[in-house]
Amino acid sequence: MNFELTKEQEMTRKMVRDFAENVIQPRAIDLDVKAEFPEDIFKEMGKLGLLGIPFPEEYGGVGGDTITYALAVEEIGRVCGGTGLSYAAAVSLGSSPIYYFGTEDQKQEYLVPLAKGEGLASFGLTEPNAGSDAGGTQTRAKLEGDEYVINGEKSWITNAGYARSITVTAVSGKREDGKNIISAFIVPADTPGLTINSNYDKMGVRASNTCEIILEDVRVPKENILGDPEKGFGQFLYTLDGGRISIAALAVGIAQASLDRALAYAKERKQFGKTISNFQAIQFKLADMAMEVELARNMVMKAAWLKDQGKPFTKESAYAKLFASETAFRSANQAIQIHGGYGYMREYEVERYLRDAKLLEIGEGTSEIQRLVIARQLGC
């Protein structure tokens, strides 16, 4: 086994780290306080090719792999969880389904500009009454002539307010066994009948745009159906498997940031005549944080490697997402504890890490759902 990164992967990581520290970090607190989506930063990220890392050059991407992409997500998440979440969602959930399942015409029309960084895409799966139970989708799509007419509502959809297109799930018919057929449809953001509201006041990842979507007699050409009309749900499950790798990478970034801040503070803060890094109680906290961050990162890299090799990765992506998200929350919590009263203040940033990390235990499949996925992969 070779755990070394390639030269290209190292170069990309350094480039993204420099960009994150010089461009995103100085604005991170302000973006959080104002709950402001950094549209200008995403335009710069697009110019750098970050939105096209895992896509082939023929579709406007840079021809990178999942490992490279995961490294980029980690570096952005290390300075701003909200920006990291929107980046991960734009690539893993917005663009990837079109790459995985789209026709050549769909890829040329929708994927190419996304991979080139000329816009963002969004992914509309969750509904007010269909969260973990994604199979309980209530949105309906009815074929009328050459168009599908879509009616329904989606909630907590990332990047929708800034998206060129939104891929939504909808019930399009019934299977022979009576169960719903759930299909996926590409809906341009300017389609009549599509309303996008961004009224959520969130606890964390506040720099990420989160929206409610209402579809009222939204008409799209039947050519806009994505992939196999009867396998939309399975396609989304595959998309989520890949998305979990990026959420896990984001979690590693937040956990690493928590460790970095806690270690630096412990070496500076003096109590009882010496720095608190000399106290075994603090040393043990830092040791546990460092160990868990490394374990989480290795899980992410393994899941990404399996995906790149075309091997099954459902179980490993669930491992990574579950362990990394819970590690991020624990690490941020310990970073606050090590900072003491200062950790409760915005200016030290570790309280933001905790708020951002909590979302990662909920989004893209809760921790409970990850445990169910793992159990089923074990044959339970």
Which token pair is 57? 């050059």
SS3 of 60, please? coil
**How far is it, in rounded angstroms, from Cα 78 to Cα 215?**
35
Residue whose C-alpha is closest to residue 302's, from 84, 70, 107, 104: 70
What is the secondary structure of 232-283 as a DSSP string? HHHHHHHHHHHHHHHHHHHHHHHHHHHHHHHHHHHHH-EETTEEGGGSHHHH
| C-alpha triplet 273, 275, 279: angle, nearest 5° | 100
**Residue in 9, 103, 49, 29 with CA at minimum distance from that of residue 356:** 29
d(CA 195, CA 252): 35
Nearest of 248, 354, 259 to residue 32 by alpha carbon? 354
> On the CB side of 325, how many CA atoms lie within 13 Å of its CA?
27
Nearest in space to 110 (alpha carbons), one of 122, 100, 95, 125: 95
- Terminal Cα distance for the chain, rounded: 30
Give Cβ neighbours of residue 97 (< 8 Å, ≥ 6 apart).
123, 167, 184, 226, 227, 235, 236, 239
Per-residue b or e along 84-111, where b marks 16 or more CB atoms closer than 10 Å to that residue's CB: bbbbbbbbbbbbbbbbebbeeebbebbb
Contact 187, 165 (CB under 8 A): yes
159 half-sphere exposure, CB direction, 13 A CA radius: 28
Task: Quote the CA–CA distance of 122 and 138 in Å, as a whole number.
Answer: 19
Please indicate whether residue 364 is annotated as part of the active site.
yes
Which residue among 316, 349, 361, 364 is the active-site one?
Answer: 364
CA-atom Rg of the chain in angstroms: 21
3-state secondary structure of 210: strand
- The residues that are catalytic are 364
